[in-house]
Amino acid sequence: MAKVGIITFLHNENYGSSLQAYALQRAVREAGHDCEHIDYMPDRKEKIRNLLCSGNDLKLIAEGLRKRSVRSAQQGAREKSGAIPAFYRERMKLGPACRNRAELRKQAEKYDILVCGSDQVWNPVWLNPAYFLTFAPEGTRKVAYAASLGIRTMPAARKVRKIRKWTEGFSAISVREEEGAELLEKMTGLKADVMPDPVCLLSREEWEEVAVPCGDGPYLLCYFIGENESYWEKVRKLSAESGLPVRVIPVTAESYASGYERLDGIGPERFLGAIRNASLFCTDSFHGLAFGTIFGTKTEVIRRYREDDPESKNSRVDHFLRLRDEKGPDRIREEGREWLARQLKA
C-alpha cells in the first residue's frame, strides 16, 4: 500500500472541482492506498509570484475580483463558500494547508506517490508549476490523472517552454481530452493516455450515497458558470415549451438577478440532489453535463465559448459527449479505474 498525495483545485468555490477531488480520492482509496489531498492554499505573495513567473494574463485578477464581489454581495454565495470546506471535512482527508512552494516541498516528503489532476490544472491560461508537481522530492513517483489542458490551440511559446520543462520526470501521464493529448504531444513530444474525469470513476449508485434531496416537484434547473443574455433566452424558451418552473443554482451576478427561484447557498451534496431530481437541466458546465449524464437527467448543454476563441474550453464538452456515446458510463468507469490502479501499483 502506497501513501498517495493528490493536488488539484480545492478552493475555487466550484462544485465540479470539489466533487472531482472527492471522486479521485475515493477511487485511490478503493484501489487500496492511503490517500489525502495536499491542501494548497497559496498566499498573496505566492499568487503574485506565480502570476508573473508563469506569464499569466492580468485579467485573471479581474476574474477573481468579480467572484469576490458576488460573494460579498450575496449571502448565499458566502454560505456556499463555507459549505464546500465543510464537505471536505466530512467526506475527505486533507493534509495541512500549504501556502507556498517551501511548504509544498516539506509536505511532499510524506508521500510515496504524488498525483496531479484532474480538472483544468494544466490549462495554459492559468499556468501554475505546483500543479505539475515541480515541488516533488527527487525519486518520488509522479502521476498525472486526467489533467485537462482545457484548450485545443497552441499557447504562446514561452508557456510551451514551461510546460515542456514541467512535464519532465512523470512516470505516467493521462489527460482528460483527446484534444489535450494531441496538444501536449505537439508541445512536449509526450504521448499521454486519455482518461475520464474522476467523477466518472464512481457509479450512479455511489453518487446517490452522496446526493441530498434538493428541490420539490418537477422543475427546470439552471446552472451557469458564464454570463450571457442568450442563456436566459434559452431558459425562457425551454420553460415555455416544457411548462416547467425554473430554479437556478446561482453563481454569477447575472444568475442572482435572473428573477427565478434560487437554490442558493447549497453545498456539493445538495448540488447533486438538485441535478438528480430535475425534470430538465440546462447548463454550460462540464461537470454539470457529467452529473446530468450520470443521473440520467435530461440535459441541455449551452456552449460557453465561441469556437474562434483561442481560449475556448468547448473541447472538454465535445470529448465527453463523444466518450459517452461511444463507450457508455460503465466502460468509461472501468477503463479509468484500471489505469489508475495500474499506475499506482507500478
**Residue 315 included in any domain:** no
Query: Are both 29 and 133 inside the same structural domain?
Result: yes
CA distances from 346 to 2, 150, 295, 340, 342 (A): 10, 28, 34, 10, 6
Contact 314, 150 (CB under 8 A): no
Of 123, 98, 124, which Cα lies nearest the Cα of 109?
Answer: 98
Q: Residue 204: its pLDDT value, please?
A: 97
Cα angle at 266 between 262 and 272, to 5 degrees?
Answer: 100
Query: Are both 234 and 182 inside the same structural domain?
Result: no
Q: Can you give the residue range of the structural domain that contains 249?
A: 205-301
Query: Are both 139 and 276 inside the same structural domain?
Result: no
Query: Are both 103 and 149 inside the same structural domain?
Result: yes
Top pLDDT among 53 and 28 is at 28
Is 80 exceeded by the pLDDT of residue 322? yes
Is 90 exceeded by the pLDDT of residue 127? yes
Element (H, E) at 80: helix 75-91
Tell me what the mean pLDDT of segment 258-285 comes to: 97
Query: Are both 266 and 184 inside the same structural domain?
Result: no
pLDDT band at 57 (very low <50, low <70, confident <90, very high): confident
Query: Are both 98 and 243 inside the same structural domain?
Result: no
**Residue 155 included in any domain:** yes
**Residue 86 included in any domain:** yes
What CATH code is carried by the domain that includes residue 225? 3.40.50.2000
**Residue 317 included in any domain:** no
Between CA 322 and CA 315 the distance in angstroms is 11
- What are 19-31's pLDDT values in tens digits? 999 999 999 999 9
Is 90 exceeded by the pLDDT of residue 172? yes
**Residue 306 included in any domain:** no
Q: Residue 312: its pLDDT value, please?
A: 52
Q: Residue 64: its pLDDT value, please?
A: 82
Sign of CA dihedral 84, 86, 91, 93: positive
Tell me what the mean pLDDT of segment 233-237 comes to: 96
Percentage of residues in the chain having pLDDT higher than 70? 97
pTM here is 0.95
Contact 113, 143 (CB under 8 A): yes
Q: How many domains does the chain have?
A: 2
Q: Residue 16: its pLDDT value, please?
A: 97
Of 195, 269, 210, which Cα lies nearest the Cα of 26?
Answer: 210
**Residue 265 included in any domain:** yes
3-state secondary structure of 168: coil
Q: Residue 59: its pLDDT value, please?
A: 76
- What are 194-215's pLDDT values in tens digits? 999 999 999 999 999 999 999 7
Q: Residue 309: its pLDDT value, please?
A: 52
Q: Residue 314: its pLDDT value, please?
A: 67
Strands annotated E in 148-256 = 172-175, 193-194, 220-223, 246-248
Between CA 192 and CA 167 the distance in angstroms is 11
Q: Of 5-9, 147-151, 312-316, give the range with the top mean pLDDT.
A: 5-9
Q: Residue 63: its pLDDT value, please?
A: 79
Query: Are both 341 and 293 inside the same structural domain?
Result: no
Is 70 exceeded by the pLDDT of residue 44? yes
Query: Are both 91 and 173 inside the same structural domain?
Result: yes
Which residues neighbour 321 within 8 Å (Cβ) at sequence distance 6 or greater? 289, 301
Tell me what the mean pLDDT of segment 55-84 comes to: 88
Query: Are both 233 and 190 inside the same structural domain?
Result: no
Query: Are both 156 and 260 inside the same structural domain?
Result: no
Is 90 exceeded by the pLDDT of residue 52? no
Query: Are both 46 and 105 inside the same structural domain?
Result: yes
**Residue 26 included in any domain:** yes
What CATH code is carried by the domain that includes residue 122? 3.40.50
Mean of pLDDT over the chain: 94
Q: Residue 215: its pLDDT value, please?
A: 78
Query: Are both 186 and 266 inside the same structural domain?
Result: no
Is 60 exceeded by the pLDDT of residue 307? no
**Residue 164 included in any domain:** yes
Is 80 exceeded by the pLDDT of residue 141? yes
